[in-house]
Structure 1
Amino acid sequence: MAEPKDPTWRAKWLGQKLRDLRKNKKLAVSDVADYLGAGTATVNRYEAGTFPVKTDVLVMLMNLYGVAERRERSELIQLAEEVAQRGWWDSLVSKPAFADFVWAENNSRAIHDFQISIFSGLLQHPDYAERLIQTGSSEKSKGEVAKLIEARLQRGELLRRVNGPTARFLIHEAVLHQRLPNAPSVVHEAQLEHLLELGELPNVSIRVFPLSSATHNVRAVTSSFTILEMHESWPTLLHAETPVGAVVAETPDIDSFIGVYEVLWQDALDEKRTSSLISKRLKEVEQ
């Protein structure tokens, strides 16, 4: 079986967990290999996340490592199954790194998002998303554009899902005033109405970060970013957009950044004033 060049986040997490369990038991890779009747290279691949761990092998490893708690066993088995399976994001998103992000987003328990230049993909109205993707994908084929649009729409359903994640969205006020090239007013009207509608969901909070504030600059926040709180046994993720591509980091390396988000959130307009500002902007677009 060919090994992927870059293992997915979920594969890396499972591998790291297996490595930690082995080390806690003070077992060498060779000890585990002998127990499984496999080579040391295979065990190393399991722990690196470059080789899928079948359920029967995982059960053997959990027994060897003394994982007896039912919840922990269940979480590890579920994660191993997620590693082996392809979700809708894998079929619609061509870039593995972004497919990883969408998987994590889809499995998160809380989302904290700050956007400086565009509405979050989770907040985009279908018409706005389609126009945005078509405008920015001139070099892509019609098939690729169609897949990107479908992925964007699938992502948007996450906020309405039963037992979906809680989500906080910070939107820089400048985004409310930006217009997509050649897009009719009805597209922007639909987008602003969509924001007001989503803001009414019990698990969603939307705040506008005012033009008058320079807190993000003082805190050296120069790009959009998303923080994803995962299940208790998984690390919290930071996904930041940069001119040269996305950067991903995990706890504990991002602990200070989580604190920065809280500062930005408190400096933003509260939900009531945000709703009023969006409604005002909607009236301006309609004129």
Structure 2
Amino acid sequence: MPNARPVPTVRRRRLGESLRSFRNAAGLSLDAAADAVGWKAPKLSRIENANAHIRPAEVAALLKTYGVRDREIFEALENLARDASKKGWWQTYSGLVAPAYADYISLESDADSIRVFAPLLVPGLLQTAAYARETIAGITMTRTPEEIAALAEIRLARQAVLTRPTGALKVWAIIPEAVLHQRFAVRPDTMRDQLRRLREYAELPNVTIQIMPLHATPHPGCAGGFSLVGFPNAMPEVVLLENLIGATYVEGVVEVNTFADAFDRIVAAALPVDDSTALIACLEEGNMR
């Protein structure tokens, strides 16, 4: 259907929210901004609400109207417009990947940093294949063995961002110690291999891993896990909240800053990096006995 409304992807929402912020900063109403570029207000409203396509040249026209001069901002928003509907490798798994998950994978591909507090599982970007299969099978409940294997493949394919040749993704993960004491009855070597993988990833210059010890005092992470996804060119961060039936994105600046402040406090409550690595090695050794 040629006139179907575009699906409001996270990329399109980020673009719309950014354009709205610049318009507000310029002190322009929706009508005044639309009139300045020769549009009707409803068109601009649909763009800001992620319900319409916008071409990179139109993004540039709006930014000039709003008095934006930073070339990096122009490039970042023009790229968002260009890539808003771009298909990624994960589209091969379109029958398995829910729209919210596809959105998140696209965010990872755009991001330059992710800060994650994972209270219940090792973060997906740091998992082994066996750990991914076991945990996906336990969480999804209704997936077939073939679907579980495919979802594990997706999870491992996502990890390519950690070693991409240009601009490897920077990951800062806080993992509670209790997560690393989990046991797998069917494959008891699963956690041992996962601990080894964590040590290997911790050696990468772009990966920081801290362990929240069992004796830690209460901290904001006690309210639940979250991921803070950061982007280049000073683009605003996005927060991901996950649950059994999907994912929720937090995109407002004030709300995102709340999570950023919370992450800083969680970092302060966790073990230092060297102590965390030593604890991982100790737990791995215990799993070998």
Q: In which range does the TM-score fall when normalised by the shorter chain?
A: 0.7 to 0.9
- The aligned residue for residue 254 of structure 1 is 256
3-state SS, counterpart of residue 3 of structure 1: coil
> Conserved in 1, the CA contact under 8 Å of 2:36 and 2:65?
no
What is the TM-score of this pair, normalised by structure 1?
0.85
Name the residue aligned to 1:130: 133
Aligned residue number for residue 166 of structure 1: 170
Residue 10 in structure 1 maps to residue 17 in structure 2: no
1:179 aligns with one of 144, 160, 183: 183
* Inter-partner Cα distance in structure 2 for 1:220 and 1:146: 31
1:210-264 deviation per Cα after TM superposition (whole angstroms, max 9, x unaligned) = 1111323xx4623222122223442222223356653432322232332232222
Provide closer, same or farther for how the CA distance between residues 177 and 28 of structure 1 changes in structure 2, counting only shifts above 3 A. Answer: closer
Contact 2:72 2:233 (8 Å CA) reproduced: no
Q: Deviations over 1:31-80 (max 9, x none)?
A: 636854x6543332222111111234434444555555433322221010
Query: In 2, Cα distance between the equivalents of 1:138 and 1:256?
Result: 33
Structure 2 gaps of 5+ residues are none
Tell me how far apart the structure 1 counterparts of residues 71 and 223 of structure 2 sit (CA, whole Å).
Answer: 44
Deviations 1:130-159 (Å, cap 9, x if unpaired)? 232234334124554344222201222222
Shift of 1:21: 4.2
How big is the alpha-carbon RMSD for the aligned residues of Structure 1 and Structure 2?
2.7
Deviates more, 1:224-233 or 1:195-204: 224-233
Offset of residue 192 of structure 1: 1.0
Choose the corresponding residue for 2:191, options 174, 188, 193.
188
SS in 1 for 2:241: strand
Cα 1:137/1:59, change in 2 over 3 Å = same
| 5+ long unaligned stretches in structure 1 | none
Partner of 2:153: 150
Question: 8 Å contact 1:225–1:239 — kept in the other structure?
Answer: yes
Choose 38-47 or 167-176, whichever is displaced more.
Answer: 38-47
- Name the SS for the 2:250 alignment partner: strand
- Which sits farther off after the overlay, 80-89 or 62-71? 62-71
**Aligned-partner Cα distance in 2 for 1:20–1:90:** 31
**2:88 matches 1:87:** yes
Classify 1:115/1:60 alpha carbon distance in 2 versus 1 (closer, same or farther; 3 Å): closer
What SS does structure 1 have at the residue aligned with 2:227?
Answer: strand
Q: Distance in 2 between matches of 1:268 and 1:220?
A: 11
By how many angstroms is 1:197 displaced?
0.5
Shift of residue 123 of structure 1? 0.8
Instruction: Return the offset for 1:179.
Output: 1.7
Helix, strand or coil at the partner of 1:252: helix
Q: Which residue of 1 aligns with 2:283?
A: 281
Whole-angstrom CA distance in 2 between matches of 1:180 and 1:75? 44
1:113 aligned onto 2:119: no
Answer yes or no: is the 8 Å Cα contact 1:223–1:241 preserved in 2: no
Range 258-267 or range 84-93, more displaced: 84-93
Partner AA of 1:121 in structure 2: G
Question: Is contact 2:23-2:33 (8 Å) kept?
Answer: no
Normalising by the residue count of structure 2, what TM-score does the alignment of the two structures yield? 0.84
Alpha-carbon separation, structure 2, partners of 1:28 and 1:261: 36
What is the DSSP-based 3-state SS (H/G/I as helix, E as strand, rest coil) of the residue aligned with 1:84?
Answer: coil
CA offset digits 1:104-143 (Å, max 9, x no partner): 2332222221121110001101222123223433412455
Percent of aligned pairs sharing the same letter: 28
Change (3 A) 1:67 1:195: same
- Report the 3-state secondary structure (helix = DSSP H, G, I; strand = E; otherwise coil) of the residue aligned with 1:2: coil
